[in-house]
């Protein structure tokens, strides 16, 4: 992904998705009005920041992308694997307890929030459909990304080999030390490949990027872009729940058909 500026708003974007006309971004800390520890572009009203500032930040983000805020659909994320198909009827609403959103409706923006978890943006250029997933370790081992792609196949006849996937900035294998519970879940969820997903050097680290890319490859997805940007190493650009000891904001991933 490339780091682009729209006025004061700094966004990470995929060159391939931009070329194909897909409106999208992973946001950063830059371009908003919130004070520390939410400085400055915090997009969640549930972390201690004021609703007024979050609304202003959302306004600035939508303006930077040329999108209508009233058309955005988000979710109360559950660190699980449920996926919702969104239509124009859901514009401006929050879907409860899902971590994946899909649509083929123009004029509907899909948005999810992050601070270390993995954002995955999906585009089917044949059927003009999009998807967005939020995968922390729980969503990764319960395979929210697999479910999101499968929902696109069922709803839009998306062929995995047509699908373009972008795995955005999130905590990297460099910084994501895990304990026994997570390790056991990874071994159970990925029995063939868990050794590739765990880096052991005194402590055990999980590679969430590859754990999600593995799911895509198993489905037949070939076009996979991995940003490779670790949020815990780049708190100048991103909120990191782990590095900032939970006292931080949320950035967003957003995708819309043009
Ligand atoms: Zn790192």
SS3 of 61-111? HHHHHCCCHHHEEEEECCCCCCEEECCHHHCCCEEECCCEEEECCCCCEEE
What is the model's pLDDT at position 201? Answer: 78
Domain-located, residue 141 = yes
Query: What are the C-alpha distances in Å from 106 to residues 55, 66, 80, 87, 111?
Result: 23, 14, 27, 9, 14
Domain-located, residue 184 = no
Domain-located, residue 75 = yes
Domain that holds residue 248: 2-171+224-256
Cα–Cα distance measured from residue 16 to residue 254, given in angstroms and rounded to the nearest whole number: 16
**pLDDT, average across residues 177-193:** 96
- The pTM assigned to this predicted structure is 0.98
For residue 172, the CA-to-ligand 1 centroid distance in Å is: 5
Q: 124: part of which helix (H) or strand (E)?
A: strand 118-124
Q: Of 138 and 199, which is predicted with more confidence? A: 138
Domain-located, residue 179 = no
For residue 143, the CA-to-ligand 1 centroid distance in Å is: 23
Domain-located, residue 198 = no
Cα–Cα distance measured from residue 132 to residue 118, given in angstroms and rounded to the nearest whole number: 10
Domain-located, residue 201 = no
- What is the percent of the chain with per-residue pLDDT over 90, rounded to a whole number? 97
The protein residues having their C-beta less than 5 angstroms from ligand 1 (an ion) are 172, 174-175, 230, 232-233
Query: What are the C-alpha distances in Å from 216 to residues 184, 190, 212?
Result: 21, 13, 7
With beta carbons less than 8 A apart as the criterion, state whether 169 and 14 touch.
no
Domain-located, residue 189 = no
For residue 230, the CA-to-ligand 1 centroid distance in Å is: 5
Summary mean pLDDT of the chain: 97
Domain CATH for 114:
3.60.140.10
Residue carrying the six token digits 């391939």: 16
Summarize pLDDT for 22-39 with one digit per residue, the tens.
Answer: 999 999 999 999 999 999
Domain-located, residue 156 = yes
For residue 193, the CA-to-ligand 1 centroid distance in Å is: 22
For residue 171, the CA-to-ligand 1 centroid distance in Å is: 6
For residue 231, the CA-to-ligand 1 centroid distance in Å is: 7
For residue 228, the CA-to-ligand 1 centroid distance in Å is: 10
For residue 180, the CA-to-ligand 1 centroid distance in Å is: 20
Instruction: Quote the number of domains for the chain.
Output: 1
């Amino acid at each position: 992904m490339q780091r682009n500026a729209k006025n004061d708003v700094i966004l990470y974007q995929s060159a391939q998705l931009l070329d194909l006309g897909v409106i999208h971004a992973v946001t950063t800390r830059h371009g908003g009005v919130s004070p520390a520890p939410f400085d400055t572009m915090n997009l969640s009203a549930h972390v201690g920041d004021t609703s007024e500032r979050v609304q202003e930040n959302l306004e600035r983000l939508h303006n930077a992308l040329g999108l209508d805020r009233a058309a955005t659909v988000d979710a109360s994320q559950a660190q699980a694997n449920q996926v919702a198909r969104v239509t124009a009827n859901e514009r401006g609403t929050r879907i409860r307890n899902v971590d994946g959103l899909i649509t083929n409706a123009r004029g509907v923006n899909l948005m999810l929030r992050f601070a270390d978890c993995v954002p995955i943006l999906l585009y089917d250029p044949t059927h003009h459909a999009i998807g967005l997933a939020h995968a922390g370790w729980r969503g990764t081992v319960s395979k929210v990304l697999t479910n999101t792609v499968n929902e696109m196949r069922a709803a839009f006849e998306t062929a995995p080999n047509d699908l373009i996937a972008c795995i955005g900035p999130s905590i990297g294998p460099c910084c994501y030390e895990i304990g026994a519970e997570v390790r056991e879940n990874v071994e159970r969820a990925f029995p063939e490949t868990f050794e590739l997903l765990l880096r052991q050097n005194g402590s055990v680290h999980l590679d969430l990027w590859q754990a999600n890319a593995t799911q895509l490859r198993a489905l037949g997805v070939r076009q996979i872009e991995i940003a490779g940007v670790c949020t815990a190493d780049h708190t100048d650009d991103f909120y990191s729940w782990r590095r900032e000891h939970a006292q931080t904001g949320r950035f967003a991933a957003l995708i819309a058909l043009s």
